[in-house]
Structure 1
Amino acid sequence: MEFAQLLILLCLSVAVWVLAAGDVAAARSPGCANVAWCGDVEVPYPYGLERQCAIHRGFHLNCSTVGGATKLLWNKVEVTKISVKDNKAWTKTYISRQCYNQSTNKMIYDNAWINLTNTPFVVSADDNKVTVLGCNSFAYIRSNDYIFGCMSTCDDTSPKNGSCSGAGCCHANLQRGVRYYKGFFNILYNTTDKKWWTTPCNYVGVIANEAFNFSTTYLNSTMFYDIEGSQKPTVMEWAITQNTCEEAKINKNTPYACVSNHSHCIMNDAGYACKCSSGYEGNPYIIGGCTDIDECLDNVTYPCVGICKNTPGSFTCSCPRGKSMIGSVCVEDKKSTWMAPVVGASIGLVVLVVAITCAYSIRERRKLQCIKQKYFQQHGGLLLFQEMKSQQGVPFKIFSEEELQEATNRFAEQQVIGHGGHGKVYKGLLKSNAEVAVKRCMIIDEQQKKEFAKEMLILSQINHKNIVKLLGCCLEVEVPMLVYEFIPNGTLFHLIHGNHSGHISLDTRVRIAHESAEALVYLHSCASPPIIHGDVKSTNILLNGDFTAKVSDFGASILAPSDESQFVTLVQGTCGYLDPEYMQTCQLTDKSDVYSFGVVLLELLTRKKALNLKASEHEKSLSVVFLDAMKENKLEDILDDEIKNDENVEILEIADLARQCLEMCGVNRPSMKEVADKLDRLRKVLHHPWAHKDPEELDSLLGEFIFGQLRGYQGTENSSITERVSMGVESGR
């Protein structure tokens, strides 16, 4: 009993010393060896047998002679082994016991405990178990926050050697991070029970798993404690400090311990420690301590049945020539005898396929180039080049197909800005960042193919503010593509019939009509040779930013024929705008453009479409409805509501002009020059200052103006409408 009390006092003094010592960093003496020895026990750094040779006081060990034997001690606790690789130390700690003294009929208690608070150590939960021995024992150890124990009896099952499952012996697992514990017993039988005579002692302690093997002789004698010793093997886990890795790297009080290359910090139950990286071994606490493992020297840990080659931190294993790896074994390669010919043949086949593919690709490319050259010549490309060379300064370019494909994102549907009877129009962006409209035609007749280049050269010389500029063409395709300047504000059709339902003043309508007429006058009278548009309609009149009209789409245009034999052509154009005379005779003349322009005037006056397929048979054609309304004096019924209350005289003038344009016989229609002049005079009337005077004064001035115009039109076809208008003014309408 006195001995047990002495042990308890000794452990208490040790814990107090460790608490006082702390983890104060100390400089390591240059003369300290990386490894010291105490008897046959290796003492590696960070431990040291001298204070100045340990990383701090918690790692200072003593090498002492006790009872004639050399022992390595840590604060009176014997240390039998230290592992830097595992950051563990094997020690011997006391166990607790209670034994029955038959002579005194009393129980003897020895309650051992250990306190590792503020030390580098914790009891390893993986390598130790709480072990209880005895037939009358309900024992446990108590830590700060936990109780670990079990009950060992011999009532139901007889104890067996090597078995520790409750009969004479039992185990309990430890919680991680235990630094303090003490053993306790609960008596299961009273002291008068004769069972105490045959199994007098119970034991409880923390014992290493690998060091304990149960024997039944431990139950009926005291040899487990007296003969084998009161100290039992216990594995401790250690760390440099209780800080985390991040804290350790910035802690100025204790030097960071992981100093070797190829080492890293790890966290265990005690705190932070160091470990060599994978493929390296040694002491990570010493500069240069982690060295490369030569795996080729350890065929057991790193098996390699082939050719082993060591690499930094790893190794490679390959088979000799003629053998292949199957699983982890090199076997004779049965394919090696015929593999070379097969591989050679395979490579040859691949080379042959690549060569054939390349040859085919080159052939197809040349074939495509020949086709492009054929189309280029067929469309008169050489002639066009010669003419452009002879006429210096012609602002016209011959584009390649690749250029236009790149500009239109390979003619993507998202780039389509218009559809027509002759093809689609795509928005494009050239490399010069110039926006263009690319017309991709669908068909072209043989006669047009022959004359195409000549006509393109003539069209390229058209320079009028109200005509969309033709910038160039592409001739190396089956049907040539035309490149125009891009007009951003849509078409007249969209302005009139779009869903925006915005207000369009009479002045704006007349201005657009006049500008469009001027463009057609230029084509008919100023171009050399004259040009017939052939498809005048509201969708072919574009509007720029300030709503200036730009006539476009010469897809149906032809040059005015030099003799009557060239007049006959295929009927083409747009339903609702087609000249009835042209449909009967197949002769396209400048008066055909006049008829189509008359339909555009009707669209501006009525805001109705030229052809309404949903209407009744008699009301499908806007021109038919208009002419009927004029005959029945019901013009107001079809006029756009937005202009009904505007200048009625000007509206009547425009309506009568449209009627003249829609004459069935072409010779009875005015020329585009007469139409443009008429619209110009109406614009001037609308802009004249008297347009803002009160109605009575306006009627008087307007009458004077019309009579003046009448004198200037004596003997012309327009006299009838002038007379009707003058009568309307005099009657006060």
Structure 2
Amino acid sequence: MHTMEFARLLLPCLLAAVSVLAAAVAQSPDNCTRRCGDIDVPYPFGLEPPPCAMNNVPFQLNCTTAVGSATKLYSGSLEVTKISVPDNKFWFKTWISRQCYNQTTKSMLTETSWLDLVETNVLSAEDNKIIVLGCNSLAYMRSDTYTIGCVSTCNNTVTPMVNGSCSASAGCCQLDLPKGVRYYQGFFNSLYNTTDPKWRNTPCNYVTVMESAAFNFSTTFLTSTAFYDRDDARTPVVMEWAIAQGTCGDAKIDNTTGYPCVSNNSYCDTNDAGYVCKCHGGYKGNPYIANGCIDIDECTENVPYPCPAPGSCRNTLGNFTCSCPRGESITDGVCKKKQKSTWMALVVGASIGLVVLVVGITCAYLIQERRKLHHIKQKYFRQHGGLLLFQEMRSQQGISFKIFSEEELQQATDNFAEKEVIGHGGHGKVYKGVLKSDVEVAVKRCMTIDEQQKKEFGKEMLILSQINHRNIVKLLGCCLEVEVPMLVYEFIPNGTLFHLLHGNSSRHIPLHTRLRIACESAEALAYLHSCASPPILHGDVKSTNILLNGDLTAKVSDFGASILAPNDESQFVTLVQGTCGYLDPEYMQMCQLTDKSDVYSFGVVLLELLTRKVAFNLKGPENEKSLSMVFLNAMKENKLEDILDDEIKNNDNVEFIEEIAELARQCLEMCGMNRPSMKEVADKLDRLRKVLQHPWAHKDPEELDSLLGESSSVNSGSLVSTGNFSITKKVAMGLEIGR
């Protein structure tokens, strides 16, 4: 079997990708050759290298004039007969696959052709057909994605052979070409053996891809080699081409090609090959060159005339308009005189009246709804103590507190979008927002509150607004015109202590940093308990409510569970709130939130800093779920070292850790009366921090005197009463030795 090798179309090398000029597509210069024989060669195609052609391959073509023959246009080794820029197509000639019976040798001769296009070219599915001819033919085309074929036979008793009529039972069958075909090869499968007498009259079978408009069946195609012999055994084929594969979105962001649609009034479109350029409707020309798309004068170029007689046509950019003589209008495509109608006037008048009525009712409804909304906002504002807040703000000069509108906070948080949520709590969600002044804030939308809380809300907001401590998140303002008030705090960017200790980060946290965070948090709580007027009980102290700024300075936050210190015993009873693992056992039993409840919760935070373990582990064993219980058992069994964080366990830190652990144990006393106050806790942590920063062995006597003076209360306090050999004792001993 002999195989005719078929040259690849448009691209000598299949592996070469389409490579457009790195700069934006340029206009072809005027000195480029734009004709080969009788064929126009428009840009982006060209007969010379760029810039005459868009690039060397596949847009650069060859014009060849052989001796004694006509001038022909080639892409590679294939002859091109026509190029269309508006249709993004060109026509070329391809070979025919055939199977013929040799009467002399009693054998079959098979010649198969194949076609292989580049990735930016495909065969046009709408312009081409797969043609199979023969009386004994089972032929098919095979590609990398499909195999398709048909059987053609000659049975005159069923269907007589007639010129111009292609029928599968009359020696001819046609198949639609699938979309996106870049490669195919023709094959045959004999239906009859070589001794069949039918071969004597119809010696050959054929299969090819061919332009459907160029094919007209003839009975001579079956009885002779006329189909194969015409035009050097080639048939016309239509191909769609594109600038590159992909979509128009790819064309605009592809930095290697530049946007190809450079002409005004052009746009990007796609076909089966990739993306191409076209002129807008009402324009024609070449969209690949500057100013290539020009206006179509529909009034002179259209046949027939586009406007009805006796009307006139006026050309506009990209379009045209028709007009009739005065007193006439276009009706059913003809200029006719306008007819006055009284009923039409009535209909128009009634329609206008109805529209005015509907608009009036709608406007009245909207005004009423706006007033209703305004009254609701005023009602909420009064319920939440807004009037009291205004009066106090006027009477107190220099207070940096603002009452925000709901609209301001909606704009700041992108209408409270989920993507702006930076935290969840038992009392609501926290959103990051940016005010019009470019100030970053944290906006907390609270859950529902009861009537008693509504009455006290304005007063409490005023008190919280006056809190000014460097380790407490500043309350900047609130929004009172909603059912549940919203709070606006300063934005702290570095997350929470919980995420620092328990997050995925393996960040090393030295003991002095942990001690500083603990000391700053304790000072903030001591300020709330001792310096605020009236005192404030936080009610939900935990590591997630201690925020950290850029240098890991602690900021106590989330006063959603906070209350003002009660004036009498009747005010003590409250609903138990807080977080599992941090809740004061006495508070859970008595439902009485006191300052010692905050001390207990802070003791759990101290344990987190020492152990880097979570306060409550649901997945742990029953006796290891609560960190406080694990710690107290370890202290009781003298196994503190077993639960400490490995990062801070060393010989230099052991005494400091024991002091901090003892302080945590005192905070976790079951009876609140036996716990130290937050002021005492803060003082002890501050003294430990100073000793850690200024070791006694390296200090002069005067500084040691100062440290000893500060620590005297510790020596007489509960730390010494445990029998531990405390750091402050060692400072005193060092002082005696130095003297």
TM-score after normalising by structure 1: 0.55
The structural deviation recorded for 1:597 is 0.2
Aligned: 1:719 with 2:690: no
Residue 450 of structure 1 is matched in structure 2 by 455
**Which amino acid in structure 1 is aligned with residue 588 of structure 2?**
M
Tell me: CA distance 1:709–1:461, structure 2 relative to 1, closer, same or farther (3 Å): closer
The structural deviation recorded for 1:341 is 2.7
Partners of 1:399 and 1:312 in 2: CA distance: 54
Query: Match for 1:370 among 361, 372, 375?
Result: 375
Higher Rg of the two aligned structures: 1
The structural deviation recorded for 1:555 is 1.0
The structural deviation recorded for 1:630 is 1.1
- Say whether the 8 Å CA contact 1:542–1:549 is kept in structure 2: yes
Aligned: 1:402 with 2:407: yes
Deviations 1:429-459 (A, max 9, x none): 1111111111111121211110111111111
Residue 308 of structure 2 is matched in structure 1 by 304
Aligned: 1:632 with 2:630: no
In the TM superposition, what are the counterparts of 1:73-222 in structure 2 within 5 Å?
none
Query: Match for 1:592 among 593, 597, 600?
Result: 597
Residue 678 of structure 1 is matched in structure 2 by 684
Residue 509 of structure 2 is matched in structure 1 by 504
- Say whether the 8 Å CA contact 1:318–1:325 is kept in structure 2: no
- Say whether the 8 Å CA contact 1:319–1:325 is kept in structure 2: no
- Say whether the 8 Å CA contact 1:707–1:726 is kept in structure 2: no
Residue 346 of structure 2 is matched in structure 1 by 341
Residue 359 of structure 2 is matched in structure 1 by 354
- Say whether the 8 Å CA contact 1:685–1:691 is kept in structure 2: no
Partners of 2:483 and 2:425 in 1: CA distance: 19
Tell me: CA distance 1:614–1:726, structure 2 relative to 1, closer, same or farther (3 Å): same
Residue 518 of structure 2 is matched in structure 1 by 513
Residue 489 of structure 1 is matched in structure 2 by 494
Partners of 1:300 and 1:617 in 2: CA distance: 93
Aligned: 1:649 with 2:655: yes
Query: Match for 2:446 among 438, 441, 448?
Result: 441
Aligned residues: 440
- Say whether the 8 Å CA contact 1:306–1:329 is kept in structure 2: yes
Partners of 1:491 and 1:301 in 2: CA distance: 77
- Say whether the 8 Å CA contact 1:306–1:320 is kept in structure 2: no
- SS state of the match for residue 448, structure 1? helix
Deviations 1:476-521 (A, max 9, x none): 0111111111111111111111111111001111110001000111
Larger deviation, residues 525-534 vs 720-729: 720-729
The structural deviation recorded for 1:403 is 0.7
- Say whether the 8 Å CA contact 2:327–2:337 is kept in structure 1: no
Query: Match for 2:470 among 455, 462, 465?
Result: 465
Residue 551 of structure 1 is matched in structure 2 by 556
The structural deviation recorded for 1:319 is 7.8
Partners of 1:532 and 1:501 in 2: CA distance: 34
- Say whether the 8 Å CA contact 2:464–2:475 is kept in structure 1: yes
Deviations 1:530-561 (A, max 9, x none): 11111111111111111111111111111111
TM-score after normalising by structure 2: 0.54
Tell me: CA distance 1:563–1:336, structure 2 relative to 1, closer, same or farther (3 Å): same
Partners of 1:531 and 1:647 in 2: CA distance: 35
- SS state of the match for residue 722, structure 2? helix
Aligned: 1:424 with 2:429: yes
- Say whether the 8 Å CA contact 1:408–1:429 is kept in structure 2: yes
**Which amino acid in structure 1 is aligned with residue 474 of structure 2?**
K
The structural deviation recorded for 1:621 is 1.0
The structural deviation recorded for 1:144 is 9.3
Partners of 2:406 and 2:486 in 1: CA distance: 9
Partners of 1:656 and 1:498 in 2: CA distance: 27
Query: Match for 2:666 among 660, 663, 666?
Result: 660
The structural deviation recorded for 1:720 is 2.2
Tell me: CA distance 1:357–1:319, structure 2 relative to 1, closer, same or farther (3 Å): farther
- SS state of the match for residue 636, structure 1? helix
**Which amino acid in structure 1 is aligned with residue 446 of structure 2?**
C
Where structure 1 has 5 or more consecutive residues not aligned to the other structure, the ranges are 1-121, 124-142, 148-265, 267-275, 282-292, 694-700
- SS state of the match for residue 463, structure 1? coil
The structural deviation recorded for 1:325 is 1.1
Aligned: 1:529 with 2:534: yes
Aligned: 1:578 with 2:591: no
The structural deviation recorded for 1:395 is 0.8
The structural deviation recorded for 1:317 is 3.5
Residue 613 of structure 1 is matched in structure 2 by 618
- Say whether the 8 Å CA contact 2:610–2:645 is kept in structure 1: yes
Tell me: CA distance 1:475–1:280, structure 2 relative to 1, closer, same or farther (3 Å): closer
Partners of 1:531 and 1:460 in 2: CA distance: 12
- Say whether the 8 Å CA contact 2:299–2:313 is kept in structure 1: no
**Which amino acid in structure 2 is aligned with residue 660 of structure 1?**
Q
Partners of 2:419 and 2:492 in 1: CA distance: 17
The structural deviation recorded for 1:594 is 0.1
Tell me: CA distance 1:598–1:344, structure 2 relative to 1, closer, same or farther (3 Å): same
Residue 420 of structure 2 is matched in structure 1 by 415
Larger deviation, residues 718-727 vs 626-635: 718-727
Residue 251 of structure 1 is matched in structure 2 by none
**Which amino acid in structure 2 is aligned with residue 651 of structure 1?**
I
- Say whether the 8 Å CA contact 1:601–1:658 is kept in structure 2: yes
- SS state of the match for residue 718, structure 1? helix
Residue 693 of structure 2 is matched in structure 1 by 687
- SS state of the match for residue 666, structure 2? helix
- Say whether the 8 Å CA contact 1:325–1:331 is kept in structure 2: no
- SS state of the match for residue 659, structure 1? helix
Aligned-residue identity in percent: 72
Partners of 1:474 and 1:362 in 2: CA distance: 24
- SS state of the match for residue 366, structure 1? helix
**Which amino acid in structure 1 is aligned with residue 576 of structure 2?**
V
In the TM superposition, what are the counterparts of 1:244-283 in structure 2 within 5 Å?
278=297
Where structure 2 has 5 or more consecutive residues not aligned to the other structure, the ranges are 1-36, 39-66, 72-284, 286-294, 732-739
Tell me: CA distance 1:396–1:328, structure 2 relative to 1, closer, same or farther (3 Å): same
Partners of 1:492 and 1:541 in 2: CA distance: 6
Tell me: CA distance 1:321–1:716, structure 2 relative to 1, closer, same or farther (3 Å): same
Deviations 1:567-626 (A, max 9, x none): 111111111111111111111110000000000000000000111111122211111111
- Say whether the 8 Å CA contact 1:306–1:330 is kept in structure 2: no
Partners of 1:727 and 1:561 in 2: CA distance: 37
Cα RMSD, aligned residues only: 3.8
Residue 607 of structure 2 is matched in structure 1 by 602
- SS state of the match for residue 405, structure 1? helix
- SS state of the match for residue 431, structure 2? strand
- SS state of the match for residue 633, structure 1? coil
The structural deviation recorded for 1:328 is 3.7
- Say whether the 8 Å CA contact 1:537–1:600 is kept in structure 2: yes
- SS state of the match for residue 552, structure 2? coil
**Which amino acid in structure 1 is aligned with residue 308 of structure 2?**
C
Deviations 1:84-131 (A, max 9, x none): xxxxxxxxxxxxxxxxxxxxxxxxxxxxxxxxxxxxxx99xxxxxxxx
Partners of 2:675 and 2:474 in 1: CA distance: 29
Deviations 1:675-706 (A, max 9, x none): 0111011111211234779xxxxxxx99x999
- Say whether the 8 Å CA contact 1:576–1:622 is kept in structure 2: yes
